[in-house]
Amino acid sequence: MAEHTMMMEEALVALLKDKKYFSLRDILSTMNPADIAAVFDDLKVERLPLLFRLLPKELAADTFVEMEPEAQELLIRGFSDSELREVLDELYVDDAVDIVEEMPANVVRRILAQADPDMRKQINEILRYPEDSAGSIMTTEYVTLRPSMTVGEAIKRIRRTGIDKETIYTCYVTEDRRLLGLATVKDLLLCEDDNARISELMEENVISVGTLEDKEDVAQMFSKYDFLALPVVDTEGRMVGIITFDDAMDVMEEEATEDMEKMAAMLPSEKPYMRSNIFSIWKNRIPWLLLLMVSATFTGMILNHFEDALAAQIVLTSFIPMLMDTAGNSGSQTSVTVIRGLSLGEIELGDLPKILWKECRVAILCGLTLAVAVYFKILLIDKLLLGGEGITLPVMLTVCITMAATILCAKLVGGTLPIVAERLGFDPAVMASPFITTIVDALALLVYFGVASLLLHI
């Protein structure tokens, strides 16, 4: 795809240079809006308005929606009032809201001034909902039917009003704005009797979400139920909008990215990496680096405390990175598994005992395997191959026992912490790798020196 975009870009630039506007328009008209937007986003700024004006009206609006906010802002600033109005007229309300959210205040004022009063009202309504709520990603344009309509009347209504709706395939049956049921276009088309009443044919057990529901939970419902759209109701049970599957997909993707960022000790980013400036990247990365650096004081303190023991058996030092890394890896394996399970709804809060029991057994298996492996590794590589000095049997046993014991600790901490975090209302993903590494590092050292003092009498 990427190479294809680049070739297309060069071809378009060449045509633009030669002022072959008709050919340009012909080529662009065959392309998908998302692909046109990808080409436009990479173009030099001064060419953008000219190329954009070549697009047919509807394609122009579809392309506009797919472009990066920087390019959108640039275009809006270049639009005349009537050009802006033309683009706005073609937009769905939820797309208009997405654009408004990214623009600086003076551009927002211009957009709202040019939008027709009805759209302005709807934009302002959606903007009122909190950032992560279902309300913030819904659209207020959907097809409604009355229960008393016949199938034939319903189809006629869809044909008359469908043009402005983001989806016509799921229609909602309402009375006084109260949601009574839904009928899909498939139900309507496949119904053999044009005079059947909507009230007989509609699905009455409709799953809906509240305006303030977390958008991540809403996205999860889409993947569970395979919905095309989900109705949004206010606290009084009145229908206020719908969320469509494409927005749910975007949320799923964003949330997975955020979870990965949190697991890797970053604050969630607001923009894609290539469009973020270095200061915002720095701002997202430095807090955790600082916090974890300071929290490593504990491991330092433990090492200080056992300074004399280490000086007496300096060979112990060389196994510290291996023990700490293995502990960290074991802990993250478990915590990442649990965190992902929680966010997909596969694991619930009440599962903690089951998880700990499972992790216990897995830890014993992993611990035994690694203890045996590390024994032979030290014997063959460190002692025979590298001729390490001071590697006695008690030293080897100390490392093996520490290995098995820390894996057990690490897996239990890794399984417990995310669930405790979730129960306390914190974000489990933040509790993942970074924090857990610090904790199990300290645990690994404590076990190490504890075992060493028993076996080596230091």
Smallest Cα–Cα separation from 409: which of 372, 378, 448? 448
Q: Give whichever of 66 and 114 is closer to a copy of itself, judged by the CB atom.
A: 66
Task: Please report whether residue 265 would count as binding a copy of itself according to CB under 8 A.
Answer: yes
C-beta of 121: minimal distance to a copy of itself in Å?
25
* Among residues 34, 45, 393, 454, the one that binds a copy of itself under rule CB under 8 A: 34
Q: Give whichever of 125 and 375 is closer to a copy of itself, judged by the CB atom.
A: 375
Task: Please report whether residue 263 would count as binding a copy of itself according to CB under 8 A.
Answer: yes
Task: Please report whether residue 98 would count as binding a copy of itself according to CB under 8 A.
Answer: no
Q: Which long-range contacts (CB under 8 A, 24 or more apart) does 385-390 make?
A: 388/315, 388/318, 389/315, 390/313, 390/314, 390/315
Contact 144, 173 (CB under 8 A): yes
DSSP bridge partners of 203: 182
Range 138-177, binding a copy of itself (CB under 8 A): 155, 158-159, 162-163, 168-169
Give the contacts of 46 (CB within 8 A, at least 6 positions apart).
none
Q: Which long-range contacts (CB under 8 A, 24 or more apart) does 353-359 make?
A: 355/415, 355/419, 356/412, 356/415, 356/416, 359/334, 359/411, 359/412, 359/414, 359/415
* Among residues 11, 13, 16, 31, the one that binds a copy of itself under rule CB under 8 A: 31
Task: Please report whether residue 23 would count as binding a copy of itself according to CB under 8 A.
Answer: no
Report the distance separating Cα 156 and Cα 177, nearest Å.
21
Q: Considering only the stretches 11-19, 68-76, 171-179, 372-380, report the one whose residues sit in contact with a copy of itself under the rule CB under 8 A.
A: 372-380
Task: Please report whether residue 353 would count as binding a copy of itself according to CB under 8 A.
Answer: no
Task: Please report whether residue 279 would count as binding a copy of itself according to CB under 8 A.
Answer: yes
Report the distance separating Cα 384 and Cα 378, nearest Å.
8
Contact 185, 159 (CB under 8 A): no
Range 211-240, binding a copy of itself (CB under 8 A): 217, 222-226, 228
* Among residues 148, 300, 393, 426, the one that binds a copy of itself under rule CB under 8 A: 300
The dihedral sign for the CA sequence 49, 51, 57, 60: negative
Task: Please report whether residue 257 would count as binding a copy of itself according to CB under 8 A.
Answer: yes
Range 387-426, binding a copy of itself (CB under 8 A): 388, 403, 407
Task: Please report whether residue 246 would count as binding a copy of itself according to CB under 8 A.
Answer: yes
Contact 211, 240 (CB under 8 A): yes
Q: Give whichever of 44 and 273 is closer to a copy of itself, judged by the CB atom.
A: 273
The count of chain residues that interact with a copy of itself, using the rule CB under 8 A, is 122
C-beta of 97: minimal distance to a copy of itself in Å?
16
The dihedral sign for the CA sequence 393, 398, 399, 403: positive
Task: Please report whether residue 7 would count as binding a copy of itself according to CB under 8 A.
Answer: no
Contact 296, 440 (CB under 8 A): no
Q: Give whichever of 114 and 244 is closer to a copy of itself, judged by the CB atom.
A: 244
Task: Please report whether residue 333 would count as binding a copy of itself according to CB under 8 A.
Answer: yes
* Among residues 106, 273, 424, 425, the one that binds a copy of itself under rule CB under 8 A: 273
Q: Give whichever of 31 and 74 is closer to a copy of itself, judged by the CB atom.
A: 31
Smallest Cα–Cα separation from 208: which of 198, 218, 220? 218
The pair phi, psi for residue 410, each rounded to 5°, is: -60, -40
